[in-house]
Every structure is written in structure tokens, then in C-alpha cells.
Chains A and B, each alone.
Chain A
Amino acid sequence: MATPTIIIGIGTSGLYTLENVQRFYYETYKTNRPDNVEYIYLETNENNWPIGTPIGNSISRVYISLDNMADMIAEIRSTCDNPSWLPDSKVVVTAGLGAGGIRSCGRLALWGKNQQGDNFSNVIHAINNAYANVMHVNNNDSSNANKPTVFITGSLTGGTGSGILIDMGYLIKHLIKDIKDLYGLFLLPKEPTVIRGYEVMYGNAYGAIKDLEFFNKVENSYIEKWPNGYSKKHEDPPYELVQFISQDYQDGAPAISSLQGLYKMAGLYLFLNIAGIYEKRRERLVDAAGNSVIGKYGTFGLSAIQFPKDQIQEYVSSQLSISLLSKLVNPSEYYQNGQLRQISRPSIKQNMTANWDSIIEKAFAALNTVEGRDLLVSIDKEAIRINNNDIKGSTVEHIISMFTSNKNDNYYALVSNNYRTALNTYIDSIYELVDSNLQNSENLYYAKYVLEDIIESIEKTLNYWRSIGLSSQTANWDNELRKLATGCTTNTYKNVFEHDPVLKDRLSTIFELLKIHLSIKPLIDICKHVRESDIKLKGSNHELPKLKFFDDLINRLNALIGKNEELENKSISFTSRINDITADINDTTLPILRVYPSGSFTQECSKAGQTYTQKSGSSVCSMKDAIQAQNILEYFKKKLAGRFNEEVYLEFLKAYRLRVENLECIEDFNVAKYIQNHAEESVRTAKRATSPFLKINKILSPNPYLPRFIIGSDENELTNVIQAFKTKNYNDFQDLKDGKKELTDLKNILVFYDEKGNFSMTGDLSYIELMKNSFENVPSGLADENVTKERWMNNRSAYTTN
């Protein structure tokens, strides 16, 4: 049975590491995690959210808010016996975003509660949930092999990770009583070339290492009263083993060029643990601990030879997404039935004029009936009554009373009270017109032009109505009505016996003019709604779209495909992702050798793209690829109301990744075979695994008790690889049971792993003195006079460990 495992990421670094774990797992097993594993991450930044794989996201986010820090401090002060680590209220005012690089603020985020929620309870709840879930898989097995293991990962440079690493250790031990192992994997800043400007990072990391060292000593205890009222003295160390990694290599090779590379290596390491190497490692580590060759701190070296199928898939999917979004925001061309056509503005205008005529006819017809009563029939009867002289008073006054705005029981009142029906008809018809044109053209400019031109037609109609003397003013209407009523009594055509049809027609004309008079204001409102942002009009089902909606949408989609620079908060875009993938692939500082059947990444991407076109049967991307049967307008409306860039980016990428995958556009590649044919190049990569990701001064000699093995999908092929290495006189990896680990589903990659331990962080880390200096001394030349030495050190300290 696989070990129930919970991986907890702290802060943004923890999130990025977890995303890499999830990605590696998905790439190998087509699920985000096995049933016996849960991912949780604690975040102080409200805007950070996990990015999922094509099948979604399995990382549970726990937001630990730092809003109203002063109130949070007051609350903890009263409920937790005024702990001495609490930050000074004056300090938190200047903390800025998140924990502001202040370690005690990081602790405050874990312990505190505010109007956003009770952080401590939320974290406990998330851990208990995850614990219940992973144990549920093995609920019939109570053997030691199936006790849970927890990995905590994050960076020690900010306030959050360096602040809560000790608390989290003890909290996990408190919540998971039968825990088998609690491991920490923390990221350190690399050996500094320049320390000026980075003192907070190095100072925080030093403070965290110092605190960890303190609690690892048997004579020291952790005594706190937590916000849930729990109070106990913990005498054991917070973690069984804490592994540190940085961008450096111990052997002095050029450091990993980006933090993304480090997250990737941390993610690969954790992924390998949940995929199966954890048990193998643990067997060795138990022996190592028994022989005192590991200690409380560790690190590791990791290298791999990989066919980057996932990156190729993501690259191709990003390109397809760009192609689809470019089609949506193309200002001059659109596709109809797979054919590229020019957007012809005169033709749209002509169509919209005709469409507007039918809309207005429909809207006016909707006003002819009120509560089942046909007003036109009623007006005809009234005409006959007038001609038969069945009315009281003069004909002119009678006609005026039928249509005047001064009465509330005449045709004016009936139509006026029923006007919403016509307004709904206008709005619904315009919406449907824009919507159907967008669905057909899949082009936002086309839909925008449709809206613009229909509004132009409305404005022309309004101008015409004004030119014949009609307006929305009731006084004006009553004046015109008097003239019309008088006109009804002259030249009645009685001499040719046509007086009834003529009067009926004249009264109907007045009725139509009445509708026009009542339509003027709503139509002006419709024009305003479409052109201006502060008016909102809704029909029976939908709100009328605005021109600004299309402008915003086009801008945002352009930003997403890198056509303009308006990226909000440096949020993700397809272009930047493509650049990231290319940079990652070309990054020679990463200990991953990328190999390809066709020789290059570019060729593989191009081949995959061509295969996609062939298998999908179309060279033109369609919105149906990304959003299936959803309505385009409604889809984007919903997205604009949420986190547009992230959501659209993820959904389009996921959709295309799934399509690329389902169409099998990229085939697997036998990396072991490649290694056997390119042994020399492969040996160079394997050697990199023996140099751990940490600048330790101490020579960490190979030790048979410490795990060192090759991981691949087939044990026989691993043997062949080791044999191939031997032919090149390379013997770091032995053809022994302990030297190989078969993970049958691990396609397209072969990993070399070497674990190191038995060193002291405060004694052996090559740049520990620089870190200590950053911890103890205020950086020179700080303009802020408030930063005294005492305040600086307080900000770098979170536990009473002196």
C-alpha cells in the first residue's frame, strides 16, 4: 500500500513547487495526484491562485489573510496569553503587502483571525480534511507502512515561510498523531554575489535556520498557547529531516538561472517521492540515521534526461490558443464556414438598417395588444362610433381625449404602461443580433460593428422622428395631437363612401405616432447604454452589450496573446508562457538534458502542430474547441466578471492540451535507448546529480547508507543504462537493487538522484556568515530612520530562541 501523503506548500514558492509536482504527476499518470496524496497551500496573497493541468487543479488553497493586523494582534494578545513574538503594532503599519518580509507577521497570518476568516481554524480544517482523505484510502490498514507522511515546502526568504515553519511542524504533529514522518523541503537564496538590496531575504533565511537549529536541540522546547486554546510543551524537534536546496550547485557549476528552475527541481523531487521513491529513500534513511550519517539536515542532487513531451504539448496548445484568440480579435478578417472573409463595414451597415426596420416593426407590433385586448381593433370601432356620431362633444376633442397624455385611462396610458414589452423586444432583438453574428463570425470586431451600426440606425431613426416634429416631451405631443385631430375632421372622403377606412387609418396613424413619441426616450437610453458605461439596460433575459465591453474584451485578449503591453499585475499570457517554456528548454543551468527524436524542440513543436491540423481535420481554430457549446458572449461576460486573464488562459490552454493529447499528436520517446546511444553526453548529465543544490563547504562523500539511484520506467533498461555508463568508466550509479528504482509509468524521463546529509547549516553553509550579518545588522545607507538595529532584528525574528 502506498503511504498516505500530504504535501503542504507555504506561500507563493510553495504554490509554484506544488504546481510542478501536480504537473509532473499529471504528465506521468494523467491524474493530478494519487488517491493517497493531498496538496494544500497556504497563501497570504489574495490574488495568487493555483494553475491546474488539463484536467483541473487539485491543490487546495487556504487563504491566510493579513487584513487589519492591529486587530489580529490585539485578538491574539488576549486569547493566547500575550505571546512575546507578536510584532509591534507600529511595525505592522508599514508591513505592506502579505507578511511584508517580517517573520512575526508571517506567524501572525497563521495564528490570527479577521473579517476574512479565522486563519488558524481554516488551516486546521484543511489539514484535518486532507488527513481524513488520505487515510480514507487506507482505512482498513493500520500497519506502520500506512501511517501518513507530510512534506512541508516553501521558501525561507519571505515573512510567511520563514515565520511559520516551526509552528507548522508542531501543528502537523499535533493534528496527525500517528504521523510516520514529517519532512521539510525549504528553498534558500543562492550564494550572493551582491547582498545589498537582498538583506531581508538573507536575514529571514538565517533567522529561520537559527530557530530550526534551536528547536532541533534536545534541551529546548516549544511552548505556546495556540488560538484554539491548545497548550502543550513540545520537546521533540519539529521535523524528522529538513532538506534545503538553493539555485547553487555544491561543485561550483553555474547556478540554476531562475527561481522557476529551482521550483521545478523541488517539484520533481516531491513528485518522485509520491510516485514511489519515498519508500526506497526511507529504507536507506532509517539505516543512515542508525549509523549517524544523515542528521537533521539534508540536501540532494537531481538530474534528468528528458523528452519534454509536456512542454511541447503546452507550447503547441499555447500556439493554438493564440491562433484562436487572434482570430477573435482580428480587426479586418473573419472566418465563415472555414473561409477567410474581409469584414465589410458597408455591408454590415446595410444589413443592420434592414434588421433595425424589422426590430422596430416587431417592437411596435408588441404594443398593439394590452392584456389580451387588441388596441387596433378597438381604435377601428372608435372610428366607426365617431363617424356614426355616437360620441359626446366634438370629434376633435374626442380624438384628443383618446390619445392625450393628460388622461390615465386612454390609449396613451395603455401603451405607456405596456412600454416595457417593446423595450424588451428592442433589447432582446439587438442582443440576439449581436450574439448570432458573434457566434457565426467568431470575431469580436464583427460583433462590435454590428452593435455600432444598429445603434447608428437607431440614431438615424431618432433624428428622422425629430425632424418631423416628434419628441419625447408630453407637451409637444399634446400640441401635435391637436393638429392631427383637427386634420381628421377635414376632407373625410365621405363623398366616395370611404370615410370609415380613412378615419380608421388616421386614428391608427395617430396611434403609431404615439408609439414613436413613447419610443424616443427608451431608444435614446439604448443608445446611451451602448455608448456609455454608466447606464444599464436589461431585456427579458440579457443585459444589452456595450461597445466598451467589446473594447475591454479585445484589449484583454490582445494582452493575453501579447499584442499589447497592458498586462495587469504582470498576469500570465500565452506569449509570456511560450517565452517561459522556450527559456526553460534552453536553460543549460538546469540539470536536465532535453532530448528529441527529431533533434530539436522547434521541430518537435512544428511536427506536433502539423499532426494536430491533420487529425483535427481543420486548419482553423474554433471557439468550440475551447468552450464547446457555450455561448461566446455569455462566456466572456462571465469571465470579465471574474479573474479574466487567469481563467481564460487556463481554460483555453486546458482545452487545447486535452485535444492535443486525445489526438495523440506527440508520441512517447524511449529515453533509455537514447542514453545507450549517447552515453558520453548522458554521463555528463548523470554526474550533475552527484553535486547537491547547496553550497556546503564540507565534502559530502558518497555513503552507501544514503539513497543514490537511477529512476526510470523499466529496470532492465536502467541496467542497460548503467552498463552503458560503465563503458565510459562512469561508476557513480551502481547496478545494485539500491541503485535502481523502477516506476513503470514514468515515460520520457530518466532521473538520477543522490541524497546528502550529515552537515550543519550554521557551520557548513558557505555563505552563512553573510546571512548572519544580514540578520544582525541594519543595511548601510537605509534612508528610513525608523529602522533601528533592534527593530531590524525583531523583524527577522519570530521565535524566542535566544
Chain B
Amino acid sequence: MDTIFFDTNYSGIQPALIRVVVFLLASTLLLWLVYLGLTKLLFRKSLQRKELSLRLVFLWTLFVYFILFNVYLYILFYKKGADSLEFSNVRFYLGIMAQLIIYIGLIILFFIKKSSLTKIINGKSIN
């Protein structure tokens, strides 16, 4: 558990890829849980179309998850200490590749979903 979520050392391509897959699975699970929870809490009495509400809830889900992920990163780097942040070292980036993919992936996903929602609520759309 510690080696996957709280280790920033690069120890080869295979463990790095395993970490990426685990991170993706864990993120998906967490996102689903947050999304499920928020769908039952947010916009229940909204008069707008259900699909729009759900898409908006998903954006909130990404936002909530982003905050949670930042809290996790803070704990990670707090535990590892300031000395572990070797920004000039390529191995450092390879060591936090999973966290980076999730971080950037979250931002990209947010904007993709926001853009598709904007398209739907655009006046010229029949959907």
C-alpha cells in the first residue's frame, strides 16, 4: 500500500506501470463513489433537465476529487520531506508518473466535460 501510494522512488518501468494502473482504478472507484454520492445530494429539486443536472454533478465530482487528490499530494510530499523534491532529476518525475497522469488527466477531463455540457446547453442544440 505504502509502496504504491506513498513512494516517489523510481524502481523500474514495470512497478511504475503497475502504479499507474492502480492509481487509475482507484481514481475511477473514488470518482464513482463521489459521483454517486453527489447525484443523490445535488440538484434533486432542480427543474432543469435531468441529464444536465447529472453532467453538472459530474463536474462537481471532478472538482471534489481534485481537492481530495491535492490533499493526498500534500500528505505524500509532507511524508517524503522537502529533500525528496528533486525537480531537476528525471527519476523524480518517473517516480510520480501515476500522480502526474491523474493530476493532468483530471484537468483535461474537467474541461472536456465542461465543453460537452456547454454544447448541450447551447441555444442551438436540440438535445
Contacts and interface: CB of A to CB of B under 8 A. Distances in A.
Interface of A: 464, 467-470, 480, 483-484, 487, 491, 493, 495-498, 501-502, 504-506, 509, 513
Given A468-B125, A491-B51, A498-B39, 11 more contacts: A467-B123, A483-B126, A493-B54, A495-B32, A496-B32, A496-B36, A502-B50, A504-B50, A505-B49, A506-B50, A506-B51
Contacts of A505: 49-51
B61 to A, nearest CB: 10
B124 A487 contact: no
Interface in B48-77: 49-51, 54
B126 A502 contact: no
Interface string B25-44: 00000001001100100000
B127 interface: yes
Contacts of B50: 498, 501-502, 504-506
Nearest 6 CB-CB pairs, A to B? A505-B50, A501-B50, A468-B126, A496-B39, A502-B50, A496-B36
Contacts of B125: 468
Contacts of B39: 496, 498
A491 B32 CA distance: 15
B117 to A, nearest CB: 12
Contacts of A491: 51
8 contacts: A464-B123, A467-B123, A467-B124, A480-B126, A496-B35, A496-B54, A504-B50, A505-B50
Nearest to B122: A468
A505 B48 CA distance: 9
A720 to B, nearest CB: 89
B24 to A, nearest CB: 17
A513 B32 contact: no
A487 B36 contact: no
A469 B54 contact: no
A507 to B, nearest CB: 11
A496 B127 CA distance: 21
* Best-surrounded residue of B35, B49, B51, B123 (most CB of chain A within 10 A): B51
A704 B35 CA distance: 121
Given A493-B54, A502-B50, A502-B54, A468 B124 contact: yes
A538 to B, nearest CB: 33
Nearest to A495: B32
Contacts of B49: 505, 509
Nearest to A470: B126
Contacts of A497: 36
Contacts of A480: 126
A510 to B, nearest CB: 10
A464 B123 CA distance: 8
A498 B126 contact: no
Contacts of B124: 467-468
Nearest to A500: B50
A326 B75 CA distance: 82
Interface in B95-127: 123-127
B70 to A, nearest CB: 24
A484 B126 contact: yes
A513 B127 CA distance: 10
A467 B125 CA distance: 9
Interface string B8-25: 000000000000000000
Nearest to B125: A468
A498 B127 contact: no
Contact of B126 (A493, A495, A513): A513
A47 B35 CA distance: 82
A491 B127 CA distance: 13
Contacts of A496: 32, 35-36, 39, 54
Contacts of B127: 484, 487
A471 B36 CA distance: 39
A506 B49 CA distance: 8
A618 to B, nearest CB: 47
B100 to A, nearest CB: 27
Nearest to A509: B49
Contacts of A487: 127
A504 B51 CA distance: 10
A376 to B, nearest CB: 14
B31 to A, nearest CB: 11
Nearest to B48: A505
A467 B122 CA distance: 12
A484 B125 CA distance: 12
A109 B90 CA distance: 120
Nearest to B127: A487
Nearest to B44: A501
Contacts of A504: 50
A470 B125 CA distance: 11
B17 to A, nearest CB: 26
A470 B32 CA distance: 37
A505 B46 CA distance: 12
Contacts of A470: 126
A506 B54 CA distance: 13
A495 B54 CA distance: 12
A480 B51 CA distance: 19
B25 to A, nearest CB: 15
* Best-surrounded residue of A469, A496, A501, A506 (most CB of chain B within 10 A): A496
* Best-surrounded residue of A464, A491, A501 (most CB of chain B within 10 A): A501
A513 B49 CA distance: 13
A470 B36 CA distance: 35
Given A496-B35, A498-B50, A509-B49, A469 B123 contact: no
Contacts of A493: 51, 54
A506 to B, nearest CB: 7
B112 to A, nearest CB: 14
Contacts of A513: 126
A483 B127 CA distance: 9
Contacts of B32: 495-496
A502 B36 contact: no
B35 to A, nearest CB: 6
Contacts of B35: 496
A468 B121 CA distance: 12
B124 to A, nearest CB: 6
A313 B86 CA distance: 106
Contacts of B36: 496-497
Contact of B51 (A469, A484, A495, A502): A502
Nearest to B32: A495
Nearest to A506: B51
A496 B58 CA distance: 11
A415 B60 CA distance: 39
A469 B49 CA distance: 20
Contacts of A483: 126
A505 B53 CA distance: 11
A470 B123 CA distance: 13
Interface in B73-91: none
A469 to B, nearest CB: 6
A501 to B, nearest CB: 5
A149 B127 CA distance: 89
A206 to B, nearest CB: 85
A493 B58 CA distance: 11
A329 to B, nearest CB: 40
A506 B126 CA distance: 12
Contacts of B123: 464, 467-468
A746 B36 CA distance: 98
A501 B52 CA distance: 12
A470 B54 CA distance: 26
* Best-surrounded residue of A483, A493, A497, A504 (most CB of chain B within 10 A): A493
Contacts of A464: 123
Nearest to A508: B49
A484 to B, nearest CB: 7
B27 to A, nearest CB: 15
A330 to B, nearest CB: 39
B68 to A, nearest CB: 18
Nearest to A503: B50
A466 to B, nearest CB: 11
A497 B39 CA distance: 9
Contacts of B51: 491, 493, 502, 505-506
